Structures are given as structure tokens and as C-alpha cells.
Structure 1
Amino acid sequence: MSTLQSYGWNAHFMHHFETNTHQNLEAARVLSIQGFKHLLITAEGNLDALLAGSLINSREPESLPKTGDWVLVKRYDEEGIIIDILPRINELSRKMPGSQSTRQVLAANVDAALIVQGLDRDFNLMRLQRYLQQIAQCYIRPIVVLNKTDLVPDPENYRLRVAELGYDCPVILTSALDEAQQSAWTNHHLLPGHTYILLGSSGVGKSTLVNSLLGHDLQETGATSSANSKGKHTTTTRQLVQLPNGSMIIDVPGMREFGLTSEDGDEGIHHPMIDALAPQCRFGDCTHQHEPGCAVVNAVENGDLPEIVYRSYQKLLREQNHFQASEADKRRMGKQFGKIAKQVSKHRKDRKY
């Protein structure tokens, strides 16, 4: 197996590489980004590279190279210049932290996302549903990892509570400090040549998990406050590393916010339980809030649909609608600005003698 194949190179990227119009360029994958410097893996090994000015000027920020992207690079001495990006299979995004409704792409070409929650004080079903919804919108397979099982008397109870949410995804109970547990689930779920991303809040044990999987310290693990059980940020940048079994993992800094976006072609919030009930509603455009004959509301009242699932669904739907409205406002303002700019340009030309 070649170096590129071991890092996920496949027929999709080969096709776009062979049909690309640029000549005499190498294919490489982005391992990490630190400021303006991009660390790449090429067929010949690691290479530091910068973005070509033409690429920066022709792309929106979310379309510029991210960790996990496959790029086309031209060598100059010991460094490279990234000329273009090969089309992505998928991309994991979130709403940019803060009040601004802007997408932030966290990583590209991801096979599955590992959502890590600690069973000490981080376990939160509402937050978990937020991660599951956004990951599903990005066409990425979710895997829930419940860490720190050594700190609670009945870990199985937490797994059952996640299963009751109705999502069809693996739920793993583990302790990052237990090597036997780590080997058991990683051998089954982390496959050679596949790319995974670790998501979760600070202090859930993501860096400890990565260090355990690698067999050495990639990141220093931060101390956890005894007052609030919140850990320090130990990962400062998104970094793709290869594990001993040939799989790859992207470690992401702990996130306080994981807001929903509206991905291309998405028609709203989807949940397996609610999607199954929706066809039974009296009205085809039922919002599952106040309409008579709503099968979803009836299921909540009868106890057939967990109330936490329904409350989370409504909250996430409102959040997504707000994001969509803000995006529409920005597009409308952009068009208005474009018209004004054209009018000003025409006015200047008309006044020339």
C-alpha cells in the first residue's frame, strides 16, 4: 500500500486528480493548519506548504483547505504551494461561535465522528442530540463514546439512556485509562484507511483517548478542576494523525458551542422516531406543534415518544430556522450591495469626458 493510500486516497480522489487541468502537481492530504502554514502528507513524506494567492482570492473561507482535505501542491525547494483542492466527499461544519450566522468547516473527508462525553459531569442528552443532528446533516456516521466509566457506579444505565433517544448509532462505554477497553472497541470500530474525528467539550478526555490509541503522548493532558470537573484545553489545533492499526483520527479542541447550520439540500431537522410518526399526522405539512391530529404530539402525550427527544427537536428546529433566515438576509444584502456597486460604477463611467 502506498503512503497516500494509507492516508485515505481512493478512486474518488484519483478520478478528480487525473481529470484536473493543472499540470505537474502532486496530491497531498492536509494533516494540520497552523496559521498560514499547512502540514501535508505526500507520497514522499511530510511537506510544509502555503496557499497560492490565486486560491485565497477565488474561494470563500469555508472552501479553503481544511484538515482532512486532499490538495494539489507544487514544490519549491523544501516547501510547497497549494494550487487547488480536490472535491470533498463530505465536510463537517458547525455554526461559527457567537451571534453571527456563518458556517465553519471543521474538517473534510470524514468517515465517522466520535462524540465523546464524560460520565463524571459532562453527560448531557440535549447536547448529544445537537451533535447527532449536525453530524447527520453533514452525511457523516456518528459513534457515541461515553468515557470515564470508572467514575460512575452503573455505566450501563447511561448507555441505555442514549439508546432511548432512538438514534441508530453505536454507543461505546470505555475508560481512556483502561487499555483493554480501548483495544476492544477500537479494533471493532476504527478501520484501517478510514478517517475519524473526535468531538466533545473540554475535559471529556479526548486527548487522553488519542494518547492511549497512539501509545504515546500526542497532546499533554490537562488537569481537571476538582470544583467543576472541567478540563483545560490541551488540543489547540485540528490535527490528523495515523493510529498504529492504520486508521486516522482528527483531534479537535474542546468546543463550548456546536451550533446547527443548514446544509445544502437539507429540508429541516430529522429524527428517526419523529420521521416514523410524521406520515400518520392529519396534515402533510404538520409542524408537530399545535395542529389537530398530530401523531408526534399524541405520541409525546401517550409516553410513546420521549419528551426530551421532542423538546430537543423543537429547539433545534427553531435554531436551524434562525440560521436559514440569517443566511437569506445576508444573501439579499449581498445582492443589494452588488446592484449599488454596479450603479456607482456606471455613474462614474457616464461622468467621464
Structure 2
Amino acid sequence: MTFSLANLGWQAFFQQQLSLHEWEITQPVRLIGQQRDQWRVMGEQGELLLQAVPDWQPCVGDWLLLQQGRPERLLERQSLFQRSRPGKDSRTQLIAANVDTALLVMALNHDFNLNRLERYLALVHEAGVQPVVVLTRADQSDAIVEHVAQVQRLDTSMPVLAFNALDADDVRQQLHAWCATGQTLALLGSSGVGKSTIANALSDSAGQLTSGIRDDDSKGRHTTTSRSLLPLASGAWLMDTPGMRELQLTQCQAGLSSTFSDVEQLAAQCRFSDCGHGSEPGCAVREAIEAGELELRRWQNYLKLQREEARNSASLAQRRASAREFARHAKTIVAGKRIMQGQNKR
């Protein structure tokens, strides 16, 4: 199976990064699958399997330039999802590149969680990608309208859909507007909420494994274990990612500001610029909470995510500063050895 560059998601943003000489001697390909030491790429000549290049850090969705079948250059990304690695590791982990639309999937059961959705929205806004909230298991809920309204209050302009992911026709119909030829979608959400079922419906195949969830807590197992781009019948591409239970924010201040723009606008209206939003007079945030104009839950989650982002970003900055200091120290030692060797030769 072969695709044109446009069908693979090639846009003017990438074209402008190539010189005329590069356009003549290189071949643009897109990374559609990634393992530890191998990359699956797709170009106009078809699919290729490449050996991973040491020290390169691409992720699925990236565009590469090949020269005589070998990776030559990684193109600048139009959008990038990244997170702090789970656990105590402060390094960032690349999730997906060059995505146009993010489908944020939550199930209408125990998985429904506005705090977690706001976390995803911060990540999506930071990447500059359009979010579309997808609520699954609508056939098992008696409070669809209420849940849709709760999500819609987070952002009145954000598309919010609700359906039964097992109804393939309904899935394709409701998501049709975001599945045009050459468009790239990403699936984000917890395990067991129906991401792989949605992928199967959109790709009109059972290529993605699916698994059920436990009835007692509505939690599922990770069905997708690697990131890959799947071609859809509509001509779009779908990125299916493993469920992310621990999505830590890092270097995401702009995304948080966009997600909580209403909160930050209130904070800017406080009488004192250094208001702690406690007992200070003229606190617009506290007044909004007391008047029911701002949910206490949303305010508390905003503070929590701000602290988390600041902590993770500071850890990353400290690690990078330490690496730079070590490099300078190593250069000093090498230079000193060279001077000593020169003196000894004399």
C-alpha cells in the first residue's frame, strides 16, 4: 500500500523546512511505528523498516528525510505531546508528534473524572492541538446530558460527543468531521475506556486488540502496548497510545493558562496583586467560589496542577543545568590534560 505525501499528512509547514537541494536528493517519510531499535516509516514508495539511529529521539508522527535509504534529518514538529516520565524520573517522554486533533476519551462510569480531563486538556492546549472530548459507554448511563453539560462548562467552544463505542456506524458518523484525508488524530485516555474499540470502528478492522473492564471499579488493562499510526478508511490517520494512568505535567504553563483561563482572569481581578486567595479583602477568586460562579473543585485542581507543573519543570531544569555543568567540567579536564601533554613533549 502506498500513499501520497499529502495523504500521509504532509503540509506546507514541513515543505518549507526543505531546501531545493534536499527536495531533489532526499525522500520524506513519516514514522508510523516505533520499537526500541527499529522504526517503521511510510513514504510515497511504501513502507520501510529502518534501524533506529542512536541519540535520535523521534516519536510516532514525526517526519524524517532519507538519503539513499538512510535517515538524514528529523524535521521540526508542528505539534508535540510530551509528559514527565512516570515515577521519580524527571526526564520528559515524547508521546506523539504532528497531531491535528486529540480525542480525549472518558467512559460514563467510574472513569468519569473532570480533574483528569483538565489534566489532559492542559497537555493538549500546550501542544497546540484541537481537543474533542469523547464520552463512551453512553448506552450504560442514565446521566448523559448531565455529564455532557459538566464537560461543556470547562470550555463552551469545545466539541463534546457521547456514544456507545461498540456502535461502529455511530462512531464513524460522529467523528467524521475530524477524519478528513491527511488529518492525524490521537487517542488519549485511561485503559479500558474504549480507545481501541474506537480505533477499530474508524479503521473498519479488528486490528487493534480490545479487552473488557472490571465491573467493580470500571478499570481496564492496557490493551495497546505501543504507539502506532493507523490508516483510516476516510484517509485520515489515527494514533493509538497506551493508557496513561500517571500523566505528569512538565513545561506546560501555557497549556494550564489556556485550560484555566477563567480562573486566571478572576485572579487578575483581586484587589492585591500578591493575593493569596485566602482571607485577603477583595479576593475575586474567593468571592466567585462563594457566589457559586467558580467550582471549588476546579480551583483546587488548578492549584494542584500548577504545583505539579512547577515541581516537574524545576526538576527538569536542574537536571539540564547539572548536565551542562558536567560537560563544562569535562572539557576543562580534557583541556588541562592536553596542556600537560604538550609541556611534557617539550
Q: How does 1:151-230 map to 2 (within 5 A)?
A: 151-166=140-155, 168-230=157-219
- SS of the residue 1:17 aligns to: coil
Q: How does 1:300-319 map to 2 (within 5 A)?
A: 300-319=289-308
Structure 2 residue 73 is matched with structure 1 residue 67: no
Letter matched to residue 100 of structure 1? D
Partner of 2:288: 299
Partner of 2:269: 280
Distance 1:289 1:38, change over 3 A: farther
Unaligned runs of 5+ in 2: none
Partner of 1:46: 47
Q: Distance in 1 between matches of 2:156 and 2:250?
A: 20
Aligned-residue RMSD, C-alpha: 2.3
Deviation at 1:343, TM superposition (A): 3.1
- Deviation per CA, 1:128-164, whole angstroms, max 9, x where unpaired? 1111112111211111110011111221111111122
Partner of 1:15: 16
Partner of 2:251: 262
Q: Distance in 1 between matches of 2:216 and 2:152?
A: 30
Distance 1:268 1:232, change over 3 A: closer
Partner of 1:120: 109
- SS of the residue 1:313 aligns to: helix
Deviation at 1:288, TM superposition (A): 4.6
Q: Distance in 2 between matches of 1:303 and 1:192?
A: 44
- SS of the residue 1:5 aligns to: coil
Letter matched to residue 223 of structure 1? G
Answer yes or no: is the 8 Å Cα contact 1:165–1:306 preserved in 2.
Answer: no
Partner of 1:253: 242
- Deviation per CA, 1:7-66, whole angstroms, max 9, x where unpaired? 1111111121335758622001111112211111111211111234xxx34x5xxxx221
- SS of the residue 1:32 aligns to: strand
1:337 corresponds, among 317, 326, 346, to 326
- Deviation per CA, 1:167-209, whole angstroms, max 9, x where unpaired? 6311110111123421331123333321110001110111111
Answer yes or no: is the 8 Å Cα contact 1:94–1:261 preserved in 2.
Answer: yes
- SS of the residue 2:17 aligns to: helix
Percent of aligned pairs with the same amino acid: 35
Partner of 1:36: 37
TM score, norm. by length of structure 1 = 0.89
- SS of the residue 1:157 aligns to: helix
Distance 1:126 1:267, change over 3 A: closer
- SS of the residue 1:6 aligns to: coil
Answer yes or no: is the 8 Å Cα contact 1:194–1:248 preserved in 2.
Answer: yes
Answer yes or no: is the 8 Å Cα contact 1:112–1:140 preserved in 2.
Answer: yes
Q: Distance in 2 between matches of 1:87 and 1:330?
A: 24
Unaligned runs of 5+ in 1: none
Distance 1:202 1:151, change over 3 A: same
TM score, norm. by length of structure 2 = 0.90
Q: Distance in 1 between matches of 2:90 and 2:21?
A: 33
Partner of 1:328: 317
Deviation at 1:308, TM superposition (A): 1.5
- Deviation per CA, 1:208-234, whole angstroms, max 9, x where unpaired? 111111111121212323443322222
Q: Distance in 1 between matches of 2:226 and 2:255?
A: 32
Distance 1:332 1:17, change over 3 A: closer
Answer yes or no: is the 8 Å Cα contact 1:269–1:316 preserved in 2.
Answer: no
Deviates more, 1:174-183 or 1:140-149: 174-183
Distance 1:140 1:48, change over 3 A: same
Q: Distance in 2 between matches of 1:5 and 1:21?
A: 18
Distance 1:342 1:280, change over 3 A: same
Partner of 2:76: 87
- SS of the residue 1:351 aligns to: helix
- SS of the residue 2:90 aligns to: coil
Answer yes or no: is the 8 Å Cα contact 2:172–2:201 preserved in 1.
Answer: no
